[in-house]
Amino acid sequence: PPVNEEMASPQEERTFIAIKPDGVQRGLVGEIIKRFEQRGFKLIALKMVTASQDHLKVHYQDLKDKPFFPSLVEYMASGPIVAMVWQGLEAVKQGRIMLGATNPLASNPGTIRGDFSIQTGRNICHGSDAVDSAEREIAHWFKPEEVSGWKRTVDSWIYE
């Protein structure tokens, strides 16, 4: 994947967003995609996948010493996930704002977690926390050819 310095423009920042098994089970796939689409972010990769525990242990490698790590991996492997890459200006930071706080009880109404979830261990969605972790996660979940650099004709109505 391109590293940050090689990116042509700040409007090409990418983030990895996933709808977790509870979000899929609860029928929130369309709702979550809708919010990113309506905001003006561009969907450049999407797939449904039931991840292995080994795959998830790498995804969440930074949390491996946390007490909740085994239950987190089990929850995330319990059913299909919708994995996505969204692109746009400040996609990583804005994605985190749109998701809300890790603990849904601390998430503002209007955020995805604040509108649709209650507990941290069932917080329905994932979003990368930094540009470098986003690039690592995108490379972990998608082959380069699964990410599409399609030209979007409405871009001049979203960016000045």
Name the helix (H) or strand (E) containing 31: helix 29-39
Binding residue for ligand UDP, selected from 30, 110, 121, 144, defined by CB under 6 A? 121
**CA within 13 Å, CB half, 149:** 9
Number of residues that bind ligand UDP (CB under 6 A): 9
Query: Which range of residues in 4-12, 24-32, 118-126, 145-153 is near ligand UDP by CB under 6 A?
Result: 118-126
Cα–chain center distance at 146? 16
Considering beta carbons, is residue 105 or 139 the nearer one to ligand UDP? 105
d(CA 32, CA 28): 6
Helix, strand or coil for residue 37?
Answer: helix
Backbone dihedral region of 121: left (phi > 0), alpha (psi from -120 to 50 degrees) or beta?
alpha
Q: Which is nearer to Mg ion, 135 or 157 (CB)?
A: 135
Is residue 87 involved in binding ligand UDP (CB under 6 A)?
Answer: no
d(CA 126, CA 73): 13
Is the CB of 87 or the CB of 123 nearer to ligand UDP? Answer: 123
Catalytic positions: 126
List residues binding ligand UDP (CB under 6 A). Answer: 63, 68, 72, 102, 120-121, 123, 126, 129
List residues binding Mg ion (CB under 5 A). Answer: 129
The annotated binding site for ATP is made up of 20, 68, 96, 102, 113, 123
